[in-house]
Protein backbone atom coordinates (compact mmCIF):
# COMPACT_ATOMS: atom_id res chain seq x y z
CA UNK A 1 0.00 0.00 0.00
CA UNK A 2 1.33 3.43 -0.97
CA UNK A 3 1.24 5.71 2.10
CA UNK A 4 -1.55 8.28 2.03
CA UNK A 5 -0.73 11.82 3.17
CA UNK A 6 -3.04 14.76 3.86
CA UNK A 7 -1.50 18.08 4.87
CA UNK A 8 -2.97 20.56 7.36
CA UNK A 9 -6.13 18.79 8.57
CA UNK A 10 -5.96 20.78 11.84
CA UNK A 11 -6.75 24.48 11.57
CA UNK A 12 -5.45 25.49 15.01
CA UNK A 13 -2.01 23.89 14.76
CA UNK A 14 1.02 25.50 13.13
CA UNK A 15 1.45 22.32 11.13
CA UNK A 16 -0.41 19.04 10.84
CA UNK A 17 -0.76 15.98 8.67
CA UNK A 18 -2.48 12.63 8.52
CA UNK A 19 -0.32 9.69 7.48
CA UNK A 20 -1.74 6.26 6.72
CA UNK A 21 0.07 3.08 5.74
CA UNK A 22 -0.98 -0.57 5.60
CA UNK A 23 -1.06 -0.93 9.39
CA UNK A 24 -1.58 2.43 11.07
CA UNK A 25 -2.99 5.92 10.62
CA UNK A 26 -1.45 8.81 12.55
CA UNK A 27 -2.66 12.38 12.98
CA UNK A 28 0.26 14.70 13.71
CA UNK A 29 -0.04 18.20 15.12
CA UNK A 30 2.94 20.54 15.48
CA UNK A 31 3.23 23.88 17.28
CA UNK A 32 6.35 25.95 17.59
CA UNK A 33 8.53 27.53 18.33
CA UNK A 34 6.50 28.54 21.39
CA UNK A 35 7.39 29.89 24.81
CA UNK A 36 8.69 27.28 27.21
CA UNK A 37 8.65 27.23 31.01
CA UNK A 38 11.93 28.42 32.43
CA UNK A 39 12.65 25.09 34.10
CA UNK A 40 12.40 23.32 30.73
CA UNK A 41 14.22 25.79 28.51
CA UNK A 42 17.58 24.99 26.94
CA UNK A 43 19.97 27.95 26.69
CA UNK A 44 21.35 27.14 23.23
CA UNK A 45 18.56 25.32 21.41
CA UNK A 46 14.84 24.60 21.26
CA UNK A 47 13.43 21.77 23.31
CA UNK A 48 11.48 19.17 21.33
CA UNK A 49 8.48 17.64 23.09
CA UNK A 50 6.76 14.53 21.69
CA UNK A 51 3.37 13.40 22.98
CA UNK A 52 1.80 10.18 21.70
CA UNK A 53 -1.88 9.49 22.29
CA UNK A 54 -3.14 5.91 21.93
CA UNK A 55 -6.20 4.96 19.90
CA UNK A 56 -8.15 4.46 23.13
CA UNK A 57 -7.50 5.17 26.78
CA UNK A 58 -4.55 7.04 28.22
CA UNK A 59 -0.87 6.61 27.50
CA UNK A 60 1.38 4.39 29.59
CA UNK A 61 4.94 3.02 29.53
CA UNK A 62 4.55 1.96 25.88
CA UNK A 63 3.76 5.50 24.78
CA UNK A 64 6.61 6.94 26.88
CA UNK A 65 9.06 4.59 25.16
CA UNK A 66 7.70 5.47 21.73
CA UNK A 67 7.99 9.17 22.57
CA UNK A 68 11.64 8.76 23.52
CA UNK A 69 12.44 6.94 20.28
CA UNK A 70 10.64 9.45 18.06
CA UNK A 71 12.21 12.33 19.99
CA UNK A 72 15.71 11.01 19.29
CA UNK A 73 14.92 11.00 15.55
CA UNK A 74 13.37 14.48 15.47
CA UNK A 75 16.33 16.01 17.32
CA UNK A 76 18.44 15.06 14.31
CA UNK A 77 16.00 16.66 11.86
CA UNK A 78 14.96 20.01 13.36
CA UNK A 79 17.46 22.88 13.36
CA UNK A 80 16.95 23.39 17.08
CA UNK A 81 19.88 25.81 17.47
CA UNK A 82 17.90 28.48 15.59
CA UNK A 83 15.37 28.79 18.42
CA UNK A 84 17.10 28.77 21.81
CA UNK A 85 14.94 28.87 24.94
CA UNK A 86 11.81 27.82 23.06
CA UNK A 87 9.73 24.69 22.52
CA UNK A 88 8.60 22.64 19.54
CA UNK A 89 5.59 20.50 20.43
CA UNK A 90 4.74 17.40 18.39
CA UNK A 91 1.53 15.52 19.18
CA UNK A 92 0.88 12.18 17.49
CA UNK A 93 -2.62 10.72 17.75
CA UNK A 94 -3.03 7.10 16.68
CA UNK A 95 -6.30 7.00 14.72
CA UNK A 96 -6.18 3.49 13.20
CA UNK A 97 -4.61 0.20 14.19
CA UNK A 98 -4.72 -3.22 12.47
CA UNK A 99 -7.92 -5.22 12.91
CA UNK A 100 -5.72 -8.15 13.89
CA UNK A 101 -3.65 -7.09 16.89
CA UNK A 102 0.10 -7.38 16.49
CA UNK A 103 1.83 -9.17 19.35
CA UNK A 104 3.18 -6.97 22.13
CA UNK A 105 6.74 -5.92 21.42
CA UNK A 106 6.42 -6.45 17.68
CA UNK A 107 3.56 -3.97 17.64
CA UNK A 108 5.67 -1.38 19.43
CA UNK A 109 8.35 -1.61 16.74
CA UNK A 110 5.82 -1.88 13.89
CA UNK A 111 4.22 1.50 14.62
CA UNK A 112 7.49 3.45 14.68
CA UNK A 113 7.79 4.13 10.92
CA UNK A 114 4.27 5.60 10.80
CA UNK A 115 4.98 7.80 13.83
CA UNK A 116 8.29 9.05 12.43
CA UNK A 117 6.88 9.73 8.96
CA UNK A 118 3.84 11.54 10.38
CA UNK A 119 6.00 13.65 12.70
CA UNK A 120 8.38 14.66 9.90
CA UNK A 121 5.52 15.67 7.61
CA UNK A 122 3.91 17.66 10.43
CA UNK A 123 7.17 19.55 11.01
CA UNK A 124 7.34 20.26 7.31
CA UNK A 125 3.78 21.57 7.25
CA UNK A 126 4.60 23.87 10.18
CA UNK A 127 7.33 25.50 8.12
CA UNK A 128 10.05 24.79 10.66
CA UNK A 129 13.62 24.82 9.30
CA UNK A 130 14.86 21.27 8.99
CA UNK A 131 18.36 19.88 8.73
CA UNK A 132 17.36 17.13 6.30
CA UNK A 133 14.56 15.05 4.84
CA UNK A 134 13.74 11.67 6.37
CA UNK A 135 11.75 8.54 5.57
CA UNK A 136 11.07 5.42 7.63
CA UNK A 137 10.12 1.87 6.67
CA UNK A 138 9.20 -1.47 8.25
CA UNK A 139 10.79 -4.79 7.26
CA UNK A 140 10.18 -8.26 8.65
CA UNK A 141 12.12 -11.50 8.26
CA UNK A 142 9.89 -14.54 7.92
CA UNK A 143 10.64 -18.07 9.06
CA UNK A 144 12.24 -18.82 5.68
CA UNK A 145 14.71 -15.95 6.20
CA UNK A 146 13.00 -13.92 3.46
CA UNK A 147 12.46 -10.17 3.73
CA UNK A 148 8.88 -8.92 3.90
CA UNK A 149 8.52 -5.21 3.15
CA UNK A 150 5.63 -3.41 4.89
CA UNK A 151 4.24 -6.62 6.41
CA UNK A 152 0.59 -7.12 7.21
CA UNK A 153 -0.37 -7.74 10.84
CA UNK A 154 -0.58 -11.47 10.14
CA UNK A 155 2.89 -11.48 8.59
CA UNK A 156 4.27 -9.42 11.46
CA UNK A 157 2.93 -11.87 14.03
CA UNK A 158 4.36 -14.91 12.26
CA UNK A 159 7.76 -13.45 11.37
CA UNK A 160 10.95 -14.29 13.23
CA UNK A 161 11.96 -10.62 13.56
CA UNK A 162 10.72 -7.15 12.68
CA UNK A 163 12.77 -4.01 12.03
CA UNK A 164 11.91 -0.28 11.95
CA UNK A 165 14.48 1.91 10.25
CA UNK A 166 14.70 5.50 9.02
CA UNK A 167 17.29 7.28 6.89
CA UNK A 168 17.90 10.86 5.91
CA UNK A 169 18.55 12.22 2.44
CA UNK A 170 22.29 11.51 2.69
CA UNK A 171 21.69 7.89 3.69
CA UNK A 172 22.51 8.36 7.38
CA UNK A 173 20.67 6.02 9.76
CA UNK A 174 18.22 7.90 12.02
CA UNK A 175 16.13 5.05 13.46
CA UNK A 176 17.15 1.47 14.19
CA UNK A 177 14.78 -0.60 16.32
CA UNK A 178 14.39 -4.37 16.03
CA UNK A 179 12.77 -7.24 17.90
CA UNK A 180 12.91 -11.00 17.44
CA UNK A 181 15.52 -13.57 16.48
CA UNK A 182 18.10 -12.55 13.87
CA UNK A 183 21.86 -12.47 13.41
CA UNK A 184 24.23 -9.75 12.24
CA UNK A 185 24.16 -10.97 8.63
CA UNK A 186 20.37 -10.72 8.49
CA UNK A 187 20.53 -7.28 10.10
CA UNK A 188 22.98 -6.05 7.46
CA UNK A 189 20.69 -7.27 4.68
CA UNK A 190 17.72 -5.54 6.32
CA UNK A 191 19.55 -2.23 6.71
CA UNK A 192 20.74 -2.30 3.10
CA UNK A 193 17.23 -2.91 1.80
CA UNK A 194 15.72 -0.33 4.15
CA UNK A 195 18.24 2.25 2.96
CA UNK A 196 17.27 1.55 -0.66
CA UNK A 197 13.59 1.94 0.15
CA UNK A 198 14.00 5.16 2.14
CA UNK A 199 16.26 6.80 -0.42
CA UNK A 200 13.85 5.61 -3.11
CA UNK A 201 11.10 7.58 -1.36
CA UNK A 202 13.01 10.77 -2.16
CA UNK A 203 13.51 9.97 -5.85
CA UNK A 204 11.39 11.13 -8.76
CA UNK A 205 10.69 9.35 -12.00
CA UNK A 206 9.34 5.89 -12.57
CA UNK A 207 8.88 3.40 -9.78
CA UNK A 208 11.84 1.20 -9.07
CA UNK A 209 11.40 -2.49 -8.38
CA UNK A 210 13.55 -3.66 -5.50
CA UNK A 211 16.06 -6.33 -6.39
CA UNK A 212 14.91 -9.90 -5.73
CA UNK A 213 11.36 -8.96 -4.71
CA UNK A 214 8.14 -7.74 -6.26
CA UNK A 215 8.00 -4.80 -3.87
CA UNK A 216 7.92 -1.38 -5.50
CA UNK A 217 9.81 1.50 -3.88
CA UNK A 218 7.65 4.40 -4.99
CA UNK A 219 8.55 8.03 -4.54
CA UNK A 220 5.59 8.63 -2.20
CA UNK A 221 7.44 11.19 -0.13
CA UNK A 222 8.52 13.29 -3.10
CA UNK A 223 4.96 13.18 -4.41
CA UNK A 224 3.67 14.39 -1.04
CA UNK A 225 6.21 17.21 -0.95
CA UNK A 226 5.35 18.27 -4.50
CA UNK A 227 1.67 18.35 -3.56
CA UNK A 228 2.53 20.51 -0.56
CA UNK A 229 4.41 22.98 -2.78
CA UNK A 230 1.54 23.13 -5.28
CA UNK A 231 -0.98 23.84 -2.52
CA UNK A 232 1.23 26.58 -1.07
CA UNK A 233 1.68 28.17 -4.50
CA UNK A 234 -2.05 28.07 -5.19
CA UNK A 235 -2.77 29.65 -1.80
CA UNK A 236 -0.35 32.51 -2.48
CA UNK A 237 -1.87 33.04 -5.91
CA UNK A 238 -5.37 33.28 -4.44
CA UNK A 239 -4.38 35.78 -1.74
Residue 210: count other Cβ atoms within 10 Å of its Cβ. 15
DSSP conformation class of 206: S
| CATH number of the domain bearing residue 122 | 3.30.230.70
Question: From CA 54, how far away is CA 81, in angstroms rounded?
Answer: 31
3-state helix, strand, coil in the chain (%, to 5): 35, 30, 35
**Are the beta carbons of 8 and 16 closer than 8 angstroms?**
yes
The proportion of the chain whose per-residue pLDDT surpasses 70, expressed as a percent, equals 90
Average pLDDT over residues 138-165: 96
Count of residues making up the chain: 239
Which pLDDT tens digit goes with each residue over 99-150?
888 998 999 999 999 999 999 999 999 999 999 999 999 999 999 999 999 9
- Which of the two residues, 118 and 2, has the higher pLDDT score? 118
Considering its fold, how many domains does the chain have in total?
A: 1
The dihedral sign for the CA sequence 178, 184, 190, 193: positive
**Are the beta carbons of 201 and 168 closer than 8 angstroms?**
no
Burial class of residue 112 in the structure, from the number of CB atoms within 10 Å of its CB (0-12 exposed, 13-18 middle, 19+ buried): buried
Domain that holds residue 72: 4-238
pTM of the model: 0.90
Q: Which residues contact 224 (CB under 8 A, 6 or more apart)?
A: 3, 5, 7, 121
Q: What is the pLDDT of residue 31?
A: 98
Amino acid sequence: MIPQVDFHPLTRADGSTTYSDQLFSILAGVNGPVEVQRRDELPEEAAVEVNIRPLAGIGGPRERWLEDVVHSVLKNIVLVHLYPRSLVQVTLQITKEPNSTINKGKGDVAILPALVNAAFLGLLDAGLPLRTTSAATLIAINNNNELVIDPTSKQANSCSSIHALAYDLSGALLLNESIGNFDIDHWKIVTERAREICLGAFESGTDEVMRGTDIVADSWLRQALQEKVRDATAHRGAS
